[in-house]
Structure 1
Amino acid sequence: MTLIIERIIASFLMITGLSYLLQSLVWKDLVKELLTKQTWLISWSLLFLPWGLIVVFGHNLWTTNWTVMITMVGWLVTIKCILYLLVPGWANFVKNWSDEFLQRYIKIAGIVETILGGGLLFLSFAQ
């Protein structure tokens, strides 16, 4: 079961990372739109909370190898979703970011996610 979770999370990270890189303008618009209404943030959190919880409950492995990164991603997603559900305004600071800065931030996140996802996917198949 943990191998499936590792491959799903790694694939998700790589695909979304590539999407951030190739569609940064669309992602910027999505972020701006999500921040206009707290109901959108709650909906977004309800969409992602289950997969964060699947990782937390199905892959809670605090090891000294690469698989701990999957556990950490699951915990980060779960915590972020809980914050959005309980305190939807906590991310309002992003509203003050310029469009150019937000788009650059998304591209950098895309690079990081693509590399992380690709590396984790490679490692999951190399086992």
Structure 2
Amino acid sequence: MDRSLFLARLLGPTFIAVALGMLINLDVYESMIAEGLRPGILFYLSGLLSLLAGLAIVNLHNRWELDWRVIITVLGWLMTIGGIMRIVLPQVALAVGSTIYSGRTSTVVAALITGTLGAFLSFKGYIQRI
């Protein structure tokens, strides 16, 4: 199986599940986001996991062709950069995260973007043939 299809099949449903969880349980997710945006071991571990996952994607799939597959590469790089930021510059990462997740509306928007991206990747991975 093509690596792009494999990663789309992995990331797509995961993003859909996260988005649905966020939309169905807004209060719970807002609490988790607030907890995650405090300095501490949870913030560090999320950076470490993001760095590892991002590096895995980038090492398996560093494609810069102008088609849908570039989304996977960009996600890998964003995860890598986000992980590095949380580990090396936690104050900056906390400030950025606090700005992005500043209320219920931003949580809903993040969920909708995540769900749309997940649906697109699922479509590419499971339904549409390259």
Shorter-normalised TM range: 0.7 to 0.9
TM-score (norm 2): 0.84
1:105 aligns to what? Answer: 106
Partner Cα separation in structure 1 for residue 86 and residue 23 of structure 2 = 25
Moved more, 67-76 or 24-33: 24-33
Q: Which runs of 5+ in 2 are unaligned?
A: none
Runs of 4+ deviating beyond 4 Å: 94-97
The question of 1:36 aligning with 2:38 is answered: yes
Counterpart pick for 1:45 among 24, 31, 47: 47
Partner Cα separation in structure 2 for residue 44 and residue 18 of structure 1 = 21
Residue 93 of structure 2 aligns with an amino acid whose one-letter code is A
Q: Which runs of 5+ in 1 are unaligned?
A: none
Could you tell me the percent identity over the aligned residues? Answer: 26
Q: Deviations over 1:49-94 (max 9, x none)?
A: 2221111110111111111111111111110011000011113335
The answer to whether the 8 A contact 2:43-2:86 is kept is yes
- What displacement does 1:44 show? 1.3
TM-score (norm 1): 0.86
1:90 aligns to what? Answer: 92
Partner Cα separation in structure 2 for residue 71 and residue 23 of structure 1 = 30
Partner Cα separation in structure 1 for residue 94 and residue 109 of structure 2 = 20
| Cα root mean square deviation, aligned | 2.0
1:67 aligns to what? Answer: 69
Partner Cα separation in structure 2 for residue 120 and residue 28 of structure 1 = 25
- What displacement does 1:110 show? 0.7
Residue 117 of structure 1 aligns with an amino acid whose one-letter code is G
Partner Cα separation in structure 1 for residue 30 and residue 55 of structure 2 = 26
